[in-house]
């Protein structure tokens, strides 16, 4: 199954409206939070007001989430979705957003929903709600998180849900102390998924990419480190943590990466890829196998995003980050 929006956007800017979530996924950093915060209305209006000129005419996809966005106060959602940012949004949800019928309420402002169907696949017969009658202008993909302990259920799980198209997620270093997948486990996952019609080819290709790079890393660790350091300076997927009024380097995690204050000046640094915004490297990258790590390397950008690469190279040179290239 071909992934329709690939290469469409140069960058994805994520916005977190709240820390509240009705799930407690063991691999996530949100449940670890003590005093749950949410974005307030005046601050959100101020943020949207300074964001608009920064992203005007920029090839940036705006993605919004919580915690769980379905728990966010409707007044806050109205301010966000009815803001005149002149963008159509991507929403990630565990389904509560649709159960609240928000996908219909804001259908004129949403083009893509990534629906996390279950917190963890611990039973291949797990049942979840399926959305077949949504507005055709909104594309919904289904996702699960794959990790060491649920590989054994994947084959039957995907066969039990042939009526849904899946863009699975591989467990990422969202919080410290997670046990990552080994090369052998990636090979096992690939063998299970390679012939599944209801899993995107682009995800299967990525697993082959990961296996190739992790094998190379065994003989030459510098190459993958260089790719991770470059990715850390591409600012491809930052996240705006509005409850804490901070820009975080990467949406892989909301708490365990570098942060900077949300100011107009810092938003321009981000959009101009001014690499003085964050330190050169970030420990969060050390175990990263994210999609855009493979995609957002100089060779790929030279082919698909030359302008952005030139922009980044100038900024890296200006800040003496030559070795990152």
Q: Which residues inside 238-267 make contact with ligand SF4, applying CB under 6 A? A: 250, 252
Stretch that binds ligand SF4, among 157-165, 186-194, 218-226, 282-290 (CB under 6 A): 282-290
Rounded CA-CA distance 312/218 in Å is 29
What's the min distance (Å) between Cβ of 308 and ligand SF4?
15
Rounded CA-CA distance 115/164 in Å is 11
Q: CB nearer to ligand SF4: give 1 or 114.
A: 114
Stretch that binds ligand SF4, among 44-52, 185-193, 225-233, 308-316 (CB under 6 A): 225-233
Q: Which of 170, 254, 285, 324 binds ligand SF4 (CB under 6 A)?
A: 285
Q: Which of 20, 76, 232, 267 binds ligand SF4 (CB under 6 A)?
A: 232
Say how far residue 143 (Cα) sits from the centre of its chain.
Answer: 12
Q: Can you tell me which residue has the tokens 């995609």?
A: 295
Stretch that binds ligand SF4, among 58-66, 114-122, 147-155, 288-296 (CB under 6 A): 288-296
Q: CB nearer to ligand SF4: give 200 or 292.
A: 292
Instruction: Give how many residues touch ligand SF4 by CB under 6 A.
Output: 12
What's the min distance (Å) between Cβ of 122 and ligand SF4?
27
Phi (first) and psi of residue 241, to 5 degrees: -90, 85
Q: Residues 260, 238: contact at Cβ < 8 Å?
A: no
| Count of alpha carbons within 13 angstroms of residue 103, beta-carbon side | 25
Residue 293 as a binder of ligand SF4 (CB under 6 A): the answer is: yes
Q: CB nearer to ligand SF4: give 160 or 256.
A: 256
What's the min distance (Å) between Cβ of 253 and ligand SF4?
7
Measuring CA to CA, which residue among 14, 2, 1 is closest to residue 290? Answer: 14
Q: CB nearer to ligand SF4: give 80 or 321.
A: 321
Q: CB nearer to ligand SF4: give 79 or 260.
A: 260
CB count in 10 Å sphere of residue 228: 21
What's the min distance (Å) between Cβ of 141 and ligand SF4?
19
What's the min distance (Å) between Cβ of 266 and ligand SF4?
17
Stretch that binds ligand SF4, among 34-42, 94-102, 112-120, 277-285 (CB under 6 A): 277-285
Measuring CA to CA, which residue among 44, 64, 172 is closest to residue 113? Answer: 64
Measuring CA to CA, which residue among 105, 91, 104 is closest to residue 16? Answer: 91
Residue 164 as a binder of ligand SF4 (CB under 6 A): the answer is: no
Torsion of CA 34, 36, 42, 48, to 10 degrees: 100
What's the min distance (Å) between Cβ of 252 and ligand SF4?
4
Measuring CA to CA, which residue among 170, 315, 185 is closest to residue 252? Answer: 170
Rounded CA-CA distance 268/51 in Å is 9
Strand 60-65 to strand 89-93: parallel, antiparallel, or no bridges (unpaired)?
parallel
| Count of alpha carbons within 13 angstroms of residue 181, beta-carbon side | 27
Give contact residues for ligand SF4 (rule: CB under 6 A).
228, 231-232, 250, 252, 282, 284-285, 288, 290, 292-293
């Amino acid at each position: 199954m071909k992934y329709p929006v690939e290469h469409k956007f140069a960058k994805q800017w994520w916005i977190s409206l709240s820390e509240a979530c009705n799930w407690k996924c063991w691999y996530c950093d949100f449940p670890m939070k003590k005093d749950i915060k949410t974005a307030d209305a005046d601050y959100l209006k101020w943020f949207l007001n300074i964001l608009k000129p920064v992203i005007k005419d920029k090839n940036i996809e705006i993605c919004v989430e919580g915690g769980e966005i379905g728990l966010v106060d409707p007044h806050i959602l109205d301010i966000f979705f009815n803001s005149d940012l002149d963008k159509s949004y991507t929403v990630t949800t565990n389904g509560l957003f649709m159960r609240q019928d928000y996908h219909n309420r804001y259908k004129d402002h949403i083009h893509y929903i990534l629906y996390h169907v279950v917190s963890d696949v611990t039973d291949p017969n797990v049942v979840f709600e399926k959305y077949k009658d949504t507005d055709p202008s909104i594309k919904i993909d289904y996702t699960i998180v794959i990790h060491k302990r649920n590989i054994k259920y994947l084959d039957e799980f995907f066969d039990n849900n042939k009526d849904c198209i899946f863009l699975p997620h591989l467990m990422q270093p969202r919080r410290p102390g997670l046990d990552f997948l080994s090369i052998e486990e990636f090979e096992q996952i690939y063998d299970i998924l390679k012939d599944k019609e209801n899993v995107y080819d682009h995800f299967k290709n990525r697993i082959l990419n990961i296996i190739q790079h992790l094998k190379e890393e065994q003989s030459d660790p510098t190459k993958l480190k260089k790719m991770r350091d470059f990715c850390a300076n591409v600012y491809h997927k930052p996240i705006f943590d509005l409850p804490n009024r901070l820009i975080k380097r990467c949406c892989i995690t909301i708490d365990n990466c570098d942060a900077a204050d949300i100011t107009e000046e810092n938003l321009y640094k981000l959009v101009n890829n001014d690499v003085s915004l964050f330190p050169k490297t970030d420990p969060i990258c050390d175990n990263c196998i994210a999609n855009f790590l493979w995609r957002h390397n100089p060779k790929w950008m030279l082919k698909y995003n030359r302008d952005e690469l030139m922009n980044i190279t100038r900024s890296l040179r200006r800040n003496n980050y030559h070795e990152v290239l």
